[in-house]
Structures are given as structure tokens and as C-alpha cells.
Chain A
Amino acid sequence: MTALHAGQDLIFRPHPAYGQWPLPQEVEQGVLPTFPPTRPGSGLPEAWRSGIGKEPLGLAAFSSVQVSQVDLRLTVLEPGKVQLQGDVIFAAQEVGGDAGYSRVSHIRTQCVPAVGVSRSLQSFGSRPADLGRIADTEQRISLTPQSCMQVSSENQESGRTPGVTTADVLEALHLATGRDILGDYFTRFYPPDAVTLHASSLAEALSSLSAAMRLRWRYEDDWLQFRGAGFLHDQRAEVPHRLFARWAEARRRSGKLSFEDLVEVASLSDAQLDAPGIADGAQDLYGLEEWDLIRSPLLRPHWRLLGSLPSELRGAAWSERGLRWEDLPVAQHPEFLALATYTRQRERQPDLAFGALWDSLSEKGPPAFPWREADLPGATLHVVAVATEGDATDVAFIYRYGSVLTGFWRREVRCDGTRWRHDALKPLPVIARP
């Protein structure tokens, strides 16, 4: 429990490897009847399962079904709010077919109400004294905040109204009331309808806006002051303006982010990359259309592996030759191997020695796991940018071992932010290299 509380994933397996825990037999047997009678891979989202097979099958279609793994983890939704999540992974052998895995993600506890300061911050609004100070005003105000977001062609086609920021709303409030206004700012967007007001008193307006934008307000020294209710959390997710501005300028100059820029973006923290408001802001306020390409949880570790390397090695990954295993610093060997074999990030143990990782992968990994330690010296990592439709760019991370000319197996993870493929592909046309 201590490890779970500390943020570790707990992995239970019938035959645990290093860093894992034994799965009791009664639990393994007890949960087997809940195996979903579909093809392996059904745990993946629909959009990811192209080519895997979509038809549900009966249990009779499988020659063997066993529980491969149960894991538990805590997810912090915001300060004072945590959720227990877990997966059960079944390994099944289809009659006359391949073996595969079916990950069933279940039990998301009810969203436990926020506690402590977080709960208190949810009582939006103000101190009674502040309300008293502005309550006697007879001023009636109307607000129609205008978004400063770029209206993308995609939004125009979908008819989606661009959201507004607190800056948009507070500017409108300043213009409507003439009062001096000060507020913190975090990149979040709100539906314009929620912050549009008609002939409201100032007290009503402040109450309504505070609730819509999760703000607290106070009136002090003739300032109307606003503070985000979740600022303790938002502080961690916000991306400095100077970085946004630099990337936006680079993109404006060359029409796309450079490889180095992409690697730099990926070095932001998970809190920053995971924040949906930041992602919207990056794309709609700063025009960084590659943002989803970088923040994708599937691609993020690959970017970060590159980010941990000296620039000349990063450049090699873009080259025809690729980044060779022999050139990698020893410290990056486990990460390379884990990514090449698509070991889930959560399953990787940061303190796992290379030998232990290798044993773990080759003994407990997928049955089709084809790598041999002896082949590693030939392994390479290639990063390629592929043009798809229009200006959209895909990035592929290709890990190879053996000789490309002989057409040995290779694994590719490819994502353009909306689609995901995980299969053996024909060589991709490389169109962009630094």
C-alpha cells in the first residue's frame, strides 16, 4: 500500500519478474470467468485495432486462456482528488491462430471528492466583505468576451466556436466596469456562452464568472482580483510563455517545428504535456500543430530517449544510417531495448539493470518476441517524418536489428495524433531530414 500511495504501479503476475509481485492463485482462477470472449486486442480503442480483427469470438475459439497480469495504480486527477485504476491482462491462444493479449482496463473508483485545500478552493466566489464592498453598486453590465484564438480551418468546418481565456473575460469585464483588474493566468479555455452576461449586477456577474471559470475573487485596494481555484495544480501544468513564443516563432519561420524543437517540447513534464488546456493553447493560440504528435503517450518516451542523448547522436537518428546501438551510451541501453520491444512505460523499472530487463523481456515477454541479445549490435533507431495529407506530418520511430537488406523483423510505432498503428510496415518514404 505504501508503494501504491507513493505513485508506483503494482504489477501482479503468476510468475513475477524483478519488481513484480505474485498473483495469488485464487485471484487468478477467480477472475478467469470474466475473460471477455473477443479477439485478443479488444482492450485497444477501436481506432487502433485496424487489421487486428473486430469480430467477437466465443470462448470456444480459444485453445487456452490465462491471466497474465493484474496491475493497480493511483491516478492523481488534481490536488486532493485521486482515483484507483487497474488492468487485468489475459493471454489467449486462438484456435488455429496467433497468441495475443487482451487488456481489460477496469475499476475506476468513483471520483472521490476533493479534500483539504482543494475542496475549499471549490467554493468559488469571494469573502462576504468583498461582496459588501461592491454590493451597493447599481451598475448593470453585459459581457460578450471575444476569443483571441486562431480559428483553424478544422474549427471553421466543424462550426466549433473557439473558447475564451480568463484574459478575454477579464478584459471584457474591465471594459464594461472601468475597474482595475488583476488576475492570474493559466492556459485554459471556456465556452463563450458560459461567460456571456446580459444586464447583470456586478455581484451577479462576479459570481457567475467565478463559477464558470473556477475562480475566486476579492476586492482589495480598488482592484478586482481573481485567482484560479486550482492554481496549486495549474502552476505545474502551465508552460512558460517564452517557450511557446520561441517555438511559435520557429514554426512561423520554417513552416514546421524542427527536430530539435520537437525533442525539446517532449522534455516538458508529464503534467504539462497531459494538460488538455495547454494542448489546445499550443495549437490554437500559438499554432503549434505538432503538439499532439509529441504529447502522445505512445510517442513521448521515444522523444525523451532522443532528448537524453547528445545532439550528434540525436542527429544520427534522423539520418539514413540511423542511431546505432553501439553508439548509444550504456545508460540508454535499457530504455532503447524497452522501447524497441514496446514494453509499457509503466512496466519499466527505472532501477532495472540491463541484464535483468533482458531476462524479463525474453522470458516473460510476448511469445513472438524475436530479439536475441546477440543481435543487438546491429540494432538501430530511425526517426522519420512522413508527409501524409496536406501539411500534416507523421513521425515514425523505427527500431531495427539485423540487416535491413535481409528484411528482418522490425517494429514501428507510428502516430499522427489521431491514428495509431502497431504492426510491421513496409519501409516508409523518408522526406525530411535535417
Chain B
Amino acid sequence: MKSVESQQTHQGIGTREGVERMPVPASSLLSCASSSQESGEASLELVRQLHPHIYCYLLYLTGNPDTAEDLTQETFLHAWRSLPTFEGRAPLQHWLVRIAHREFLQSLRRRRSHVSLDQIQPPPASQPPIAWTDAAELRTLIGNLPVQEREVIVLHYFEGYPYEEISRMVGAPVGRIRHRLSEARARLRQEIGDGDLSYLNRPLITALRRWAWLPLEDLADLEAGLPHDGQEAQAAHTAPREAEITDLRLDRKVSLRERGVALEALCRELQAATGVSLCAAPSVADEKVTLFCRDRSLRAVMRAVGSLLGFTWQRSRTGGAYRYELVQERNARRLQEALRVRDHNAALLALDSEMQRYRRYLALSPEAARQVAIGANPEHTPFLENLAGPGWAIVQMYFRLPPP
């Protein structure tokens, strides 16, 4: 099975590049509307040009072709009535989508007195096939998304609107739109598979992903300085083939209550619950996690564990079913050590900087330091008190050490 992006490209409906089109100029429609002679043709042209997009948008929102058709008609009717008030500050189709969005919300309110988008259940999986594309499986998957995410997926990937436009259309901040898109993409990848290993190990820059818990500014440089080992090179070589493999057994659901369990034991438990062969490599088998979840797919659990700890799932097969092993890649271990060394070196510099505060008192004897400490600035008191006792010899010897 192919990734979301590649499917969209093949169908010619998905990526923004795939749906590039000229926006319908508002001025032409406005002039049509103002001309009674041509108003019939203008309205026909308006419907012919924009109907598929509005219908598509509403179809994905409602999941029902009849309802989508009804709402599309309502949208165009409302638009035609309101055309004189349209100021032309945005492309016409944006304005239409905004109207369609409102029509959709109104239809929901008519169905239920109090409803929010969050409360809407996904449509049943047994929806009738949709005529305008044969990507039935993808449509079903998108239809299973929460409505808010479904909406932004359609507007961004199918209709090609940028985040800012979608933000204005649906009346939500741009950040929230981005977040919904990100969530939707993750869900789709989870559902479609996108190649198990890509999903389990996150198809981002792996070095940065591993260290998602840490400040990332300098980590890319660190990673770049580390040699790549053959294992990872091999993984990269096999990636295209692996990306096409989806192990449906990873969809099996698990519920877990694990308190400080070693990864080795967690893998055993997951294997017992799902029948999927899992193990943790000896170098990571003793790492412990706490995990509480209900009805999560094995795929989601595996991904979360790998992501949290910065480990990688590897897959192998010797005749039978696939076997999964959680490992820490060699570069990740090297990077971890590099971080420790870097911090230690920085700490030594900080210590030396602290010790330099003694320098001004080096000429004092212990007795003199005791005298100076009386009435000294409180900030300097700890240093002088150290020098007033046996600490004096330690400071003296520290400053006699030859520099590194």
C-alpha cells in the first residue's frame, strides 16, 4: 500500500500541485450578477466551475452524497442571493467554502439542537462508493477522521488552500489548522500504513526525532559529526521496499497497565496479547517504562515507545511471519555519549570560572582571610571562609596546577 501523498498524486486529486487552478475572478461574477441579461449564463458558469469543489468538500464533511448534494445546492443558492454583498476581497471560491462551512454547521444544528464538531461521530464505514474518484479506500479512511480534521485535509490537500485561507474559511487560528492537519496526517499514516517501519520509527530526520526531548539547536551538528554505520546505511537501502510493507497484525488492539516494566517484559506481554513476535535488543532490554492505555493498536504502542526512548524498531523475517526488534542504533549511543562528554566539559569550564573568584584572595594567608571575611561583602564570604581554614591549601594547589 502506498503513502497518502503518493496515492493522492496518482489520483490527481491530492497534492496542492495536483489541483492548481485559476481562481474564479470575483469581478467577472459580480459583473454577471449585475447584468440581468447574462445572469442566467453567469450563474450556470459559476455552478459549473465551482460545484465539484464545493460538493467534494461537503461530501467529505457529511459522508453522504445526498446530503452533500443538498447542501451544495443550499450553498450556491445562498451565495447567489448574497452575491451583491460580496466585496471581492478574497477569491470567490473561498467565500463559497465559508458559506458551505456555515451550511454544514446549520444542517448539524437542525439535526441536533446542541452539537459541536467534536461530538460528531465518523460516518459508518459502509458508505456507498463515490463516483468522482475510485480511491474508495482513501475516502473511507478520510471519512473516519474527526470532522475538523477531515475538513482541513480536504481543503488543504484536495482543494489546495493554504493554511491562512483555511483559517479564515473555518474561523480557527492558523496554528490550530496546522495542528489539525498534522493530527490528520498522523492518523492517515497510521491507518494506511505508509510502510510499518516508516510509521513506527517516524519518517522525520531520525537523529532529531531521537532527541525530541532535548534542546535541538546543536544536535544536528553533533549528529552530522558522527560517522554513519553500515547498519543504518543498509536500512536506508532497503527503505523503499520496506515502505510498501504493511503488517496488518499491528492493527491488533491492546490495553495495558504496566508500572516500571522492562522493555523485554513489555515485548513479551505484547507478543502474548497479539501473537506478533516482538523483542528488545539486549542493550535496551532493561530500560523501564510505565504505560497505561486502552484499546490502542499495537502499531501505536510500538511507535510511542520507540519515540519516547529514541529507539528504533527493526523488522526481519525468516520464513514465517515478521519479527520486530527494538534497538538503539549505534549513532544514537554515540550521540548520547557525546552529549555527556560535552556537558562534562562545559561543567569543567563553569567550575573553573567559579574558582577564578578565589584568585583575588590568593595572596592572603588563612589568618588574613579570616580577618577580611569579617564585614566582607556577603557574596564573598563563602570564599573567604574556605580560605580561612584548610581549604586554603586546596585552593593554592588548584591554582598551581598546569593548565590543560
Smallest CB–CB gap between A387 and chain B, Å? 34
Whether the pair A220, B290 counts as a contact (CB closer than 8 A) is no
Whether the pair A167, B397 counts as a contact (CB closer than 8 A) is no
- How many Å lie between the Cα of A308 and that of B214 in the bound state? 39
Most chain-A CB neighbours within 10 Å: which of B288, B393, B394?
B393
Whether the pair B289, A185 counts as a contact (CB closer than 8 A) is yes
Smallest CB–CB gap between A83 and chain B, Å? 8
Contacts of A165 in B (CB 8 A): 259-260
B40 within 8 A of A: no
Q: B304: which of A70, A116, A166, A225 is its contact (CB, 8 Å)?
A: A225
- How many Å lie between the Cα of A83 and that of B264 in the bound state? 37
A344 within 8 A of B: no
Q: A2: which of B354, B390, B404 is its contact (CB, 8 Å)?
A: B404
- How many Å lie between the Cα of A216 and that of B348 in the bound state? 26
- How many Å lie between the Cα of A225 and that of B355 in the bound state? 40
Size category of the A interface is 35 or more
Interface residues, chain B, with chain A CB atoms under 8 Å away:
175, 179, 186, 212-215, 257, 259-262, 264-265, 286-294, 296, 300, 303-305, 307-309, 336, 339-340, 342-344, 346-351, 354-355, 365-367, 382, 386, 388-398, 400-404
Smallest CB–CB gap between A59 and chain B, Å? 15
Whether the pair B404, A86 counts as a contact (CB closer than 8 A) is no
Question: 12 A-B contacts, Cβ less than 8 Å apart?
Answer: A24-B400, A31-B396, A34-B393, A76-B344, A86-B391, A107-B386, A116-B342, A132-B175, A165-B259, A167-B290, A182-B293, A183-B290
- How many Å lie between the Cα of A225 and that of B382 in the bound state? 42
A197 within 8 A of B: no
Contacts of B393 in A (CB 8 A): 27, 30-31, 34, 67, 70, 86, 88
Interface residues, chain A, with chain B CB atoms under 8 Å away:
1-2, 4-5, 10, 12, 23-24, 27, 30-31, 33-34, 67, 70, 72, 74, 76, 79-84, 86, 88, 104, 106-107, 109-110, 112-118, 120-121, 129, 132-133, 148, 165-168, 170-171, 174, 180-187, 216, 218, 220-221, 223, 225-227, 231-232, 235, 238, 240-242
Seed contacts A86-B397, A110-B354, A220-B304; 20 additional CB < 8 Å A-B pairs: A23-B397, A27-B396, A27-B400, A30-B393, A79-B340, A79-B347, A80-B343, A80-B347, A86-B394, A107-B395, A112-B347, A115-B346, A115-B349, A120-B215, A121-B213, A133-B179, A171-B257, A181-B292, A182-B305, A232-B343
Smallest CB–CB gap between B296 and chain A, Å? 6
Q: Kindly count the residue-residue contacts between A and B in the assembled complex, taking CB atoms under 8 Å apart.
A: 214
Whether the pair B402, A1 counts as a contact (CB closer than 8 A) is yes
Contacts of B348 in A (CB 8 A): 5, 74, 82
Contacts of A182 in B (CB 8 A): 289-293, 304-305, 308
Whether the pair B339, A33 counts as a contact (CB closer than 8 A) is no
Q: A116-B343, A117-B214, A129-B179 are in contact. Are A5 and B404 (CB under 8 A)?
A: yes
Q: A117-B214, A181-B293 are in contact. Are A27 and B366 (CB under 8 A)?
A: no
- How many Å lie between the Cα of A106 and that of B349 in the bound state? 21
Contacts of B349 in A (CB 8 A): 115
Q: A110-B354, A170-B292, A227-B308 are in contact. Are A185 and B389 (CB under 8 A)?
A: no
- How many Å lie between the Cα of A30 and that of B257 in the bound state? 64
Q: Interface residues of A: mostly helix, strand, loop or mixed?
A: mixed
Q: Interface residues of B: mostly helix, strand, loop or mixed?
A: helix
Whether the pair B397, A120 counts as a contact (CB closer than 8 A) is no
Q: A70: which of B291, B294, B309, B394 is its contact (CB, 8 Å)?
A: B394
Smallest CB–CB gap between A199 and chain B, Å? 22
- How many Å lie between the Cα of A105 and that of B46 in the bound state? 89
Smallest CB–CB gap between A123 and chain B, Å? 9
Contacts of A241 in B (CB 8 A): 260-262, 265, 286, 288
Whether the pair A79, B308 counts as a contact (CB closer than 8 A) is no
Q: A227-B213, A240-B262 are in contact. Are A107 and B391 (CB under 8 A)?
A: yes
- How many Å lie between the Cα of A180 and that of B304 in the bound state? 11
- How many Å lie between the Cα of A351 and that of B390 in the bound state? 30
Chain B residue at minimal CB-CB distance from A84: B351
Whether the pair B293, A31 counts as a contact (CB closer than 8 A) is no
- How many Å lie between the Cα of A83 and that of B347 in the bound state? 9
Smallest CB–CB gap between B219 and chain A, Å? 9
- How many Å lie between the Cα of A223 and that of B299 in the bound state? 13
Smallest CB–CB gap between A134 and chain B, Å? 12
Q: A238: which of B175, B288, B290, B400 is its contact (CB, 8 Å)?
A: B288
Whether the pair A117, B401 counts as a contact (CB closer than 8 A) is no
Whether the pair A109, B288 counts as a contact (CB closer than 8 A) is no
- How many Å lie between the Cα of A155 and that of B341 in the bound state? 40
